Amino acid sequence: MLMGGPMCESCGRPRPGATEGRFCDRCADARGTLLPWDEVHRRLVEEEFMARNGMGRAQADAAAREALGRMPAWKGRR
């Protein structure tokens, strides 16, 4: 995992230069409130694993659940 610098506690994305809040702009609304798990999961599946990594939906879905289950914001949730 990334060393140094703040990271999103929901998805683990680095947040270089971030000084407030615990979540990135993809995981929280404009006020910094964490979005529902379903929404965070869907974005991770579609915008990260499918769009960037080229996974199929089933594989991306499983990978996103696995990834979120390790994050402080979602620990134990899948």
Residue 48 interacts with Zn ion (CB under 5 A)?
Answer: no
CB atoms within 10 A of CB 77: 11
Residue 10 interacts with Zn ion (CB under 5 A)?
Answer: yes
Contact 66, 41 (CB under 8 A): no
Of these, 1, 4, 7, 8, which contacts Zn ion (CB under 5 A)?
A: 8
d(CA 1, CA 58): 25
Of these, 7, 24, 45, 50, which contacts Zn ion (CB under 5 A)?
A: 24
Binding residues for Zn ion, per CB under 5 A?
Answer: 8, 10-11, 13, 24, 27
